[in-house]
Chain A
Amino acid sequence: MYLKEVRLPALMLLLLVLPYGGKSQGGLEGFTRDERGRPVSLVNIRLEPDGHTAVSDGSGRFGFGKLYAGTYRLEASCVGYETVSLSVRIGTTGHTPLHIVLKEAEAQLDAVEVTAARENPDQVLTSLQAVQVVHSIGREQIEAMGSRRLDEVLREQTGMAIVSDVGSGNRSVGLQLQGFSSEYITILLNGQPVGGRHGGNLDLSRISAHDIERIEIIKGASCSFYGSEALGGTVNIITRQNIRVPSLSGALRWGSYQTTDAAASGETPFASGNGYAHLGISYYRTGGFNVNPYLKEGKTAPPYRNWEANGRSRWQLTPAGYLNVSARYADRYSVMERNYGAMPTADRLAESDFNGMVSWDQYYSRGHRLLARYYATAYSSGQEVRLLTNDRLLQSNNFTEQLHKSEVQHSFAPFRDRVRISSGLGAEWQVTQAEVSGTGGQMLNYFAFSQSNWEVRPGLSAVAGLRYDGNSRFGGRLNPSVGMQYQARPWLRLHASLGTGFKSPTYRQMYQRFTNLSQGYTVLGANNVQEALAEMEAAGDLQQVWAIAGQVKALEPETARSFNLQLSVQPATSLSVTLNTFYNDIRNLITSQPIGLKRNGAQVFSWFNIASLYSRGIEAGGSWTAGRGFTVSAGYQLLDMKDRGVINAIRTGNGDYAWVRGENGLRAAARSDYFGLTNRSRHSGNVQVRYDLKKWEANASLRGQFRGKYGFLDLDNNGYIDRYDIFVRAHLLLNLTLQKAVWQKKLTVQLSADNLLNYTDYLMPNQPGRMIMAGVRFRFQKNQNQ
Chain B
Amino acid sequence: MTRRQYPATIFPVLALTVALLLSCGKPGDIITADRSVLVTDLPGDTLASMGGESGKEVRPFFTILFNLREQKAIWVRNAADSAAYLATDLWDLAFTGPYNSEIFLNNANWMYNPGYRGPARHTSVLMVNQAYDQVLTVPSDEEFDRSDIVKIGWASNSISPGWFFYSLSNHICVPVKNRTYLLRLPDGRYAKLEILNIYKGNPPVVTDLFWPAPYLSFRYFIREDGSRNLNAKQ
Contacts and interface: CB of A to CB of B under 8 A. Distances in A.
Given A390-B2, A661-B178, A717-B174, A712 B50 contact: no
Q: Is the contact region of chain B dominated by helix, strand, or loop, or is it mixed?
A: loop
B131 A663 contact: yes
Given A166-B207, A713-B205, A343 B49 contact: no
Interface string B19-45: 000000000000000000000010100
Contacts of A602: 50-51, 98
Given A390-B2, A601-B102, A661-B178, A343 B209 contact: no
Given A169-B209, A340-B201, A394-B210, A519 B55 contact: no
Interface residues of A, number: 61
A166 B170 contact: yes
A594 interface: yes
A340 B212 contact: yes
Contacts of A395: 53, 210
Interface stretch (A19-27, A315-323, A411-419, A510-518): A510-518
Interface in A334-375: 338, 340-343, 345, 347
B67 interface: no
A394 B50 CA distance: 12
Nearest to B210: A345
Contact of B178 (A169, A592, A603, A663): A663
A372 to B, nearest CB: 44
A461 interface: no
A763 B158 contact: no
Interface residues of B, number: 49
A385 interface: yes
Interface in A648-675: 656, 659, 661-666
A296 to B, nearest CB: 9
B200 interface: yes
A778 interface: no
Contact of A392 (B56, B154, B208): B56
A554 interface: no
Nearest to B98: A601
Interface in B136-181: 153-158, 165-172, 174, 176-178
Given A166-B208, A345-B210, A661-B176, A393 B55 contact: yes
A517 B171 contact: no
Contacts of A389: 1-2
Interface string A581-593: 0000000000011
B54 A517 contact: yes
A600 B98 contact: yes
B52 interface: yes
Nearest to B27: A729
Contacts of B177: 661, 715-716, 724
A713 B170 contact: yes
Nearest to A601: B98
B97 A601 contact: yes
B46 to A, nearest CB: 6
B200 to A, nearest CB: 5
Given A394-B210, A717-B155, A664 B201 contact: no
A762 interface: yes
Contacts of A715: 174, 177
Contact of B207 (A292, A385, A665): A292
Interface in A295-316: 300
Contact of B208 (A338, A341, A717): A338
B168 A594 contact: yes
A763 B174 CA distance: 15
B204 interface: yes
A211 B131 CA distance: 57
A338 B208 CA distance: 10
B201 A294 contact: yes
A427 interface: no
A58 interface: no
Contact of B204 (A515, A664, A724, A726): A726
B118 interface: no
Interface in A512-544: 515-521
Given A600-B98, A661-B176, A167 B171 contact: yes
Contacts of A519: 50-51, 171
A342 B43 contact: yes
B51 A517 contact: yes
A170 interface: yes
A678 interface: yes
Contact of A338 (B1, B167, B178, B210): B210
Contact of A718 (B49, B130, B158, B205): B158
B32 to A, nearest CB: 16
Contact of A714 (B129, B169, B200, B208): B169
B119 interface: no
Contacts of B172: 166-167, 713
A340 B211 contact: yes
B158 to A, nearest CB: 6
A765 interface: yes
B98 A520 contact: yes
A516 B51 contact: yes
Contacts of B207: 166, 292, 300, 762-763, 765
Interface string B63-106: 00000000000000000000000000000000001100010000
Contacts of A341: 200-201, 212
B190 interface: no
A520 B56 CA distance: 13
B132 interface: no
A387 interface: yes
B49 A517 contact: yes
A600 B99 CA distance: 11
B50 A167 contact: no
Contacts of A656: 157-158
B141 to A, nearest CB: 23
Contact of A170 (B49, B155, B209): B209
B215 interface: yes
B49 A601 contact: no
B43 A387 contact: no
Nearest to A522: B51
Given A395-B210, A396-B54, A661-B176, 5 more contacts: A341-B212, A343-B1, A520-B50, A597-B156, A717-B167
7 contacts: A170-B209, A294-B201, A393-B55, A396-B54, A516-B171, A597-B156, A716-B165
Closest 5 CB pairs of A and B: A167-B170, A665-B129, A392-B55, A520-B50, A717-B165
